[in-house]
A and B are shown apart, each in its own frame.
Chain A
Amino acid sequence: MECVFGMVGKGFALVVADTSAVNSILVHKSNEDKIMVLDSHKLMGASGEAGDRAQFTEYVQKNVSLYQFRNNIPLTTKAAANFMRGELATALRKNPYMVNIVLAGYDKETGPSLYFIDYIATLHKVDKAAFGYGSYFSLAMMDRHYHPDMTVDEAIKLAEQCIEEIRSRLVVAPQNFVIKIVDKDGAREHSWRRTTKD
């Protein structure tokens, strides 16, 4: 029942994820951060098998840093997305990573961008993306209310509407959500939407 979704606004991109770590009927913790900050201007929201998620996101983060150390220049969001797709595609027919990713980034030349990367390594650049059972609700909400060049406040309000919809309509809805944002000033945590304290 993991929910990850994201959208692009005017000069920024937003990623929202639930923060529950679940094993069958037990909730281990409800403050698990599933949105990894890859580098100063990239956010990677991941959902799927817990072990694969942690392994793959850390692997990508370390390789993105390595590239920057070796070449003295950070990867563009598009390059990072293609690197991730390549790793997922190579592993697909051997030992697949069951991880779905929403990658948000800000580049000086091209502005904000959002990439949808399936666990089967399907890559597509999008304006709004969502994974999991929550996607049925959040994508529909975004289809209705999203428009290009939204302000941060409008986007946060839309994210809240999506979270409310998931909370009220998904049978085992996650308790807490974290919202992270990336813009020209960098990638950072924006806020939480809690129903339980952990």
Chain B
Amino acid sequence: MSIFEYNGSALVAMVGKNCFAIASDRRLGVQLQTIATDFQRIFKIHDKLFLGLSGLGSDAQTLHQRLVFRHKLYQLREERDMKPETFASLVSAILYEKRFGPYFCQPVIAGLGDDDKPFICTMDSIGAKELAKDFVVAGTASESLYGACESMFKPDMDHEELFETISQALLSSVDRDCLSGWGGHVYIITPTEVTERILKGRMD
């Protein structure tokens, strides 16, 4: 089994009208065995920037700690929060530093940039950025997620419709993947508020 599939994960981020959503599954496994059903894969960097980390859980935790550290330093020096585009470049650089001994993670970065314009991107484990205007996916369920998102996505959805769409896409995709699932964790971010919801899907 590949090291990327050791813990199992599913991540998706979608763009709406002046808002974005980022969602993950909740399973933490060790290959075939499920250890926990409340594992956190999405982390808040600041109010308008969220980072999802799929892949090996240990590297996701290490990378998260390193990135929070770098962002806090940035905040001290620049006296403001990092823009999502800047943060994506930072993540890319940190991943490429370990080109010949990489972190086994695929990050999904989602944020509101200048003028609250939604920004999403993903990258592979060595930092190759992939910007998208509609949705990005990562994790063991990524192939199913691509299909589900492609068919369910519409541009310029408002936050209610976006929540429905991303939830349905996530739940239907993880149901086809044995290594991810056990519920969902969805964050909807608009310029004024952040909503966090837990989804109950097939618990298996």
* Chain A residues proximal to chain B, CB less than 8 Å: 85, 89, 92-93, 116, 118, 120-124, 126, 129, 135-136, 139
Contact = CB atoms under 8 A, between A and B. Distances in A.
B39 A124 contact: yes
Contact of B58 (A89, A136, A139): A89
Interface of B: 6-7, 28, 30, 33, 35-36, 39, 56-58, 61-62, 101
Contacts, number: 38
B58 A120 contact: yes
Given A116-B36, A135-B33, A122 B61 contact: yes
B114 to A, nearest CB: 36
17 contacts: A85-B61, A89-B62, A92-B58, A116-B35, A120-B6, A122-B7, A122-B28, A122-B56, A122-B58, A122-B61, A123-B58, A123-B61, A124-B28, A124-B35, A124-B39, A129-B35, A139-B33
Main SS of chain A's interface residues?
A: mixed
The listed residue with most A CB atoms (<10 A of its CB), out of B7, B33, B39, B58, is B58
Contacts of B35: 116, 124, 126, 129
Contacts of B7: 122
Nearest to A120: B58
A93 B36 CA distance: 25
Nearest to B32: A136
A126 B61 contact: no
Contacts of A124: 28, 35-36, 39, 57
Given A116-B35, A124-B36, 10 more contacts: A85-B58, A85-B61, A118-B30, A120-B57, A120-B58, A121-B58, A121-B61, A122-B57, A124-B28, A126-B35
B142 to A, nearest CB: 21
A146 B62 CA distance: 32
Contacts of A123: 58, 61
